[in-house]
């Protein structure tokens, strides 16, 4: 059973005999990651994957996600698993400890992820997208954005997504029609319709941070005119506390064979009732001609 995920002998061979990963501990940055520590990390990851994650894969696929009036509930068994995953600090394994990461070498993090992804990939989409969106904030965000979002994302308290795809903009992401209009206070109002959004809405975390690709009014057509925005599901106030829901409307969930445990959503940063036309966002790039820094990752 255990070896269906990833063979420990193969993992040890690649880490130690092929890559001599413990040599990294000669560098100050990775000093604590000697062979003993690396082996411990891999053993812990394997235990979590085999004992806790693998049994929930089939359960999660059979139960699936449920959509009701804009809210999505995910498989029951994923909740306990997510708590264990957060407690083990597995979301930001290789990231900077200053922001709540574990600071381990990426090679070691990948060995651990091999077990996790093999055990329950639909579950890992929640964690993986949170890690990816957090990393995006760390690399491209302003100091203020990092202060507001990063620790909460790397700890898993808030999750993350990526909103790129639209019905007429898949591989051709430059065709996207989502618009961004600058507000007087420096925020932007985003309006559009996104599809295939993995982990787009769910009941796993109190907030979801959506990196959204949109075109600022007047920006050129094609990829040159695209900018990237951070749109929290619930607005985050300047002191870090949660404000009002931010009108990111989930209009449905979609069928994805084999990953029913992950909520693939259609999402509209808009309010269909027309109660409030303006949505707020924080612009990640200062370049108003558009940022191509964060492109579609699944083509
Ligand atoms: C499991 C899964 C999870 C996803 N999660 C997300 C997510 O979280 N967020 C998000 O924004 N999107 C997500 N997507 C959407 C994904 O980014 C798109 O599916 C992808 O960009 C392709 O777009 P499309 O499906 O519209 O296919 P198309 O762009 O319509 O492509 C269909 C086919 O045509 C081919 N094709 C397209 N253009 C050309 C060309 N010029 N020349 C030759 N061949 C071409 C493609 O290779 C493909 O075989 C997800 C998709 C999947 C499958």
Instruction: List the CATH number of the domain containing 266.
Output: 2.40.110.20
- Please give the angle made by the CA atoms of 175, 132 and 183, to the nearest 5 degrees: 55
Co-location of 165 and 147 in the same domain: no
- For residues 176 and 192, the answer to whether their CB atoms sit within 8 Å is yes
298 belongs to a structural domain = no
Q: Is the pTM of this model over 0.85?
A: yes
Predicted confidence at residue 269, as pLDDT, reads 73
Quick: pLDDT tens for 89-129: 999 999 999 999 999 999 999 999 999 999 999 999 999 99
Tokens 């509209």: give the residue.
268
Question: Is a pLDDT exceeding 50 seen at residue 293?
Answer: no
Instruction: Look at strands 234-236 and 226-232 and give their pairing.
Output: unpaired
Confidence of residue 299 (pLDDT cuts 50, 70, 90): very low
Co-location of 250 and 147 in the same domain: no
What the block records as the tokens of 127 is 């964690």
Co-location of 30 and 121 in the same domain: yes
Co-location of 77 and 164 in the same domain: no
289 belongs to a structural domain = no
DSSP string for residues in 146-202: IIIIIHHHHTTSSEE--B--BTTBSS-GGG---EEEE-TTS-EEEE--EEEEET-S-
Predicted confidence at residue 187, as pLDDT, reads 84
- For residues 232 and 209, the answer to whether their CB atoms sit within 8 Å is yes
Mean pLDDT of the chain: 88
**Pocket of ligand 1 contains residue 175 by CB under 6 Å:** no
Co-location of 22 and 137 in the same domain: yes
Co-location of 141 and 177 in the same domain: no
Co-location of 172 and 263 in the same domain: yes
Position in ligand 1 atom list of the atom nearest CA 170? 23
Instruction: Give the structural domain span for 44.
Output: 2-154
Question: Is a pLDDT exceeding 50 seen at residue 276?
Answer: no
Write the CB contacts of 22 (distance below 8 Å, at least 6 apart in sequence).
Answer: 16, 33, 34, 35, 38
Of the residues 107, 127, 154, which one is the last residue of a structural domain?
Answer: 154
Q: How far away, in angstroms, is 171 Cα from ligand 1 center?
A: 5
Alpha-carbon torsion, ordered 288, 250, 197, 81, to 10 deg: 120
Quick: pLDDT tens for 170-204: 999 999 999 988 888 888 888 899 999 999 999 99
Co-location of 92 and 138 in the same domain: yes
Co-location of 148 and 6 in the same domain: yes
Predicted confidence at residue 17, as pLDDT, reads 98
237 belongs to a structural domain = yes
Co-location of 9 and 150 in the same domain: yes
Predicted confidence at residue 274, as pLDDT, reads 36
Instruction: List the CATH number of the domain containing 138.
Output: 1.10.540.10
**Pocket of ligand 1 contains residue 171 by CB under 6 Å:** yes
**Pocket of ligand 1 contains residue 196 by CB under 6 Å:** yes
292 belongs to a structural domain = no
- For residues 209 and 159, the answer to whether their CB atoms sit within 8 Å is yes
**Pocket of ligand 1 contains residue 103 by CB under 6 Å:** no
What is the count of structural domains for the chain? 2
85 belongs to a structural domain = yes
Co-location of 9 and 146 in the same domain: yes
């Amino acid at each position: 059973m255990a070896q269906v995920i990833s063979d420990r002998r193969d993992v040890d061979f690649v880490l130690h005999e092929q890559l001599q990963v413990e040599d990294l501990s000669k560098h100050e940055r990775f000093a604590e990651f000697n062979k003993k520590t690396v082996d411990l990390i891999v053993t812990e990851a394997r235990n979590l994957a085999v004992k806790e994650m693998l049994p929930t894969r089939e359960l999660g696929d059979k139960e699936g996600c449920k959509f009701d009036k804009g809210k999505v509930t995910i498989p029951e068994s994923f909740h306990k698993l997510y708590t264990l995953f957060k407690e083990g600090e597995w979301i930001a394994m290789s990231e900077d400890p200053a922001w709540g990461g574990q600071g381990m070498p990426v090679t070691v993090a990948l060995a651990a992820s091999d077990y996790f992804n093999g055990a329950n990939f639909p579950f890992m989409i929640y964690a993986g997208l949170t890690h990816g969106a957090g990393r995006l904030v760390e690399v491209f965000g302003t100091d203020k954005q990092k202060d507001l979002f990063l620790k909460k994302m790397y700890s898993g308290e808030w999750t993350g997504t990526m909103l790129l795809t639209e019905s007429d903009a898949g591989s051709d992401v430059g065709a996207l029609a989502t618009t961004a209009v600058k507000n007087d206070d420096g925020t932007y109002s985003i309006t559009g319709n996104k599809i295939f959004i993995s982990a787009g809405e769910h009941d796993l975390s109190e907030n979801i941070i959506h990196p959204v690709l949109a075109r600022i009014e007047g920006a050129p057509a094609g990829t040159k005119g695209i900018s990237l925005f951070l749109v929290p599901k619930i607005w985050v106030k300047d002191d870090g506390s949660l404000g009002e829901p931010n009108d990111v409307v989930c209009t449905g969930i979609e069928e994805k064979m084999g990953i029913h445990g992950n909520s693939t959503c259609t999402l509209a940063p808009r309010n269909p009732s027309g109660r409030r036309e303006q949505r707020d966002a924080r612009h990640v790039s200062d370049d108003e001609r558009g940022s191509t820094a964060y492109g579609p990752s699944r083509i």
